[in-house]
């Protein structure tokens, strides 16, 4: 399901979030259509991507459903790694899956820079060979200690080590790569949920922002 755009309007001492900008400011009653460029609606960029269009990336999605349709912020998440064609390699109690569908709404973290020519060429073979290793057989799966995140991070570290870089711990990878994206997604989801039941959502501007 494609969600309507989220808009932000800055006026008087508030930030106004909405799907469609109202003609008047709900806080002061001012005419927003004549408020000038400073109060023009700004479209917020969705943090979610069509995972199968994100080559060579680390993807996150809810284990069930989608972020914008029922995710409560606490349910289990599932992760995977895409090949160059957007096929998602992911691991669970049934072993490694190669999914060409089902990852249409994800948080995506690109793993390869455009100048990494050699890695671009060999990525698919590396991922396929890695996925065939004994570590990822179904019976090795363990929900807490040997799961989809273990699989994805182990591949990231295999690639890092091949390039002479130190492996990342789960905590390091989470802090550096996941948290910035998940915080952004959380803020967006909060706005999306607020606007499911109302036309506008008002956030007072911090005092130091009012003068800027």
- Asked whether residue 41 is domain-assigned, the answer is no
- Asked whether residue 105 is domain-assigned, the answer is yes
- Asked whether residue 96 is domain-assigned, the answer is yes
CA angle 193, 195, 199 (to 5 degrees): 165
- Whole-number Å distance between alpha carbons of 149 and 54: 18
Residue scoring higher pLDDT (75 or 60):
60
- Asked whether residue 181 is domain-assigned, the answer is no
- Asked whether residue 121 is domain-assigned, the answer is yes
- Asked whether residue 5 is domain-assigned, the answer is no
Q: How many domains does the chain have?
A: 1
pTM score, two decimals?
Answer: 0.88
- Tell me, what's the pLDDT at 5? 87
pLDDT tens column, 182-201: 999 999 999 999 998 899 99
Mean of pLDDT over the chain: 91
- Tell me, what's the pLDDT at 211? 45
- Asked whether residue 186 is domain-assigned, the answer is no
Token pair 């459903």 is found at 65
Helix axes 148-162, 117-131, angle to 10 degrees: 140
> Count of CB atoms within 10 A of residue 199's CB?
10
% of the chain with per-residue pLDDT over 90: 76
- Whole-number Å distance between alpha carbons of 41 and 14: 13
Is residue 116 within 8 A of residue 110, CB to CB? The reply is: no
- Tell me, what's the pLDDT at 74? 81
- Tell me, what's the pLDDT at 160? 93
Task: State yes or no: pLDDT of 206 exceeds 80.
Answer: no
pLDDT tens column, 165-180: 999 999 999 999 999 9
- Asked whether residue 73 is domain-assigned, the answer is yes
Domain range holding 112? Answer: 51-168
- Residue 1: band (very low, low, confident or very high) from pLDDT cuts 50, 70, 90: very low
């Amino acid at each position: 399901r494609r969600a309507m755009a989220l808009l932000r309007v800055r006026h008087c001492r508030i930030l106004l979030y909405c799907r469609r900008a109202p003609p008047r400011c709900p806080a002061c009653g001012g005419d927003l259509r004549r408020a000038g460029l400073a109060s023009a609606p700004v479209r917020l960029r969705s943090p979610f991507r069509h995972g199968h269009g994100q080559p060579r990336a680390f993807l996150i999605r809810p284990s069930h459903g989608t972020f914008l349709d029922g995710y409560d912020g606490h349910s289990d998440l599932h992760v995977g790694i895409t090949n160059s064609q957007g096929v998602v390699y992911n691991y669970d109690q049934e072993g490694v899956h190669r999914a060409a569908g089902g990852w249409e709404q994800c948080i995506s973290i690109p793993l390869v820079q455009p100048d990494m020519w050699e890695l671009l060429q060999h990525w698919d073979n590396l991922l396929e060979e890695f996925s065939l290793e004994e570590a990822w057989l179904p019976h090795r799966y363990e929900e807490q200690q040997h799961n989809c995140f273990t699989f994805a991070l182990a591949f990231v570290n295999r690639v890092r080590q091949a390039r002479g870089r130190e492996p990342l711990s789960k905590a390091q990878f989470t802090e550096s790569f996941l948290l910035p994206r998940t915080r952004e997604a959380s803020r967006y989801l909060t706005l999306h949920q607020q606007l499911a039941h109302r036309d506008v959502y008002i956030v007072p501007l911090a005092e130091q922002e009012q003068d800027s």
